[in-house]
């Protein structure tokens, strides 16, 4: 309860204004990639990598999330900025006859593209030189395309 400095504090006066609790600053829960990171390795290793105290990492891993997580989020963003590889952009490509997609003068295919000739799909690079494809229909599917050699 908030105590008001007025005549209401005199004997017989009443005042019952509720004092609002300190509000949440930021998201109500930790980012999912942060949770996976701190739960997948020892707390001391996670703490050293992110730059937080080991106890704070322990609390995050066990579900505690503070009212003011700005310092934690800043440390996590700094860590991710130093370690994440730049993501590939998505490109629209048309499925060619034979279920092939041409990207950067190379052909890629998958058996799942055989019936999608003429449709547009979104593609992005993944590790190993392959492509990740996503269909653009409402029942969107994602799968990996493999490189094929085509004699032109």
Provide the number of structural domains found in the chain: 2
Residue range of the domain that includes 51: 32-83
Whether 79 and 115 share a structural domain: no
Whether 78 and 108 share a structural domain: no
Whether 65 and 98 share a structural domain: no
- The answer to whether residue 13 is domain-embedded is no
Whether 77 and 38 share a structural domain: yes
Sequential pLDDT tens for the chain (152 residues) = 555 555 556 666 665 556 555 666 777 888 888 998 999 999 999 999 999 999 999 999 998 998 889 899 889 888 876 665 555 688 999 999 999 999 888 999 988 898 899 999 999 887 777 888 999 988 888 888 888 988 76
Whether 95 and 144 share a structural domain: yes
Cα separation, 64 vs 20, whole angstroms: 22
The residue out of 83, 102, 122 marking a domain boundary is 83
Cα separation, 122 vs 134, whole angstroms: 5
142-148, strands of its sheet edge to edge: 91-94, 120-125, 131-135, 142-148, 106-109, 100-103
């Amino acid at each position: 309860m908030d105590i008001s400095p007025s005549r209401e504090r005199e004997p017989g006066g009443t005042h019952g204004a509720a004092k609002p609790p300190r509000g949440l600053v930021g998201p109500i829960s930790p980012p999912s990639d942060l949770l996976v990171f701190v739960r997948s390795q020892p707390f001391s290793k996670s703490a050293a990598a992110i730059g937080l105290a080991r106890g704070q990492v322990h609390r995050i891993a066990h579900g505690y999330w503070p009212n003011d997580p700005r310092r934690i989020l800043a440390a996590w963003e700094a860590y991710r900025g130093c370690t994440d590889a730049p993501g590939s952009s998505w490109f629209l490509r048309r499925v060619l006859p034979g279920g092939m997609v041409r990207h950067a003068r190379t052909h890629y295919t998958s058996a799942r593209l055989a019936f999608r000739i003429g449709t547009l799909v979104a593609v992005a690079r993944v590790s190993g030189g392959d492509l990740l494809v996503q269909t653009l229909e409402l029942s969107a599917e994602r799968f990996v395309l493999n490189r094929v050699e085509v004699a032109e």
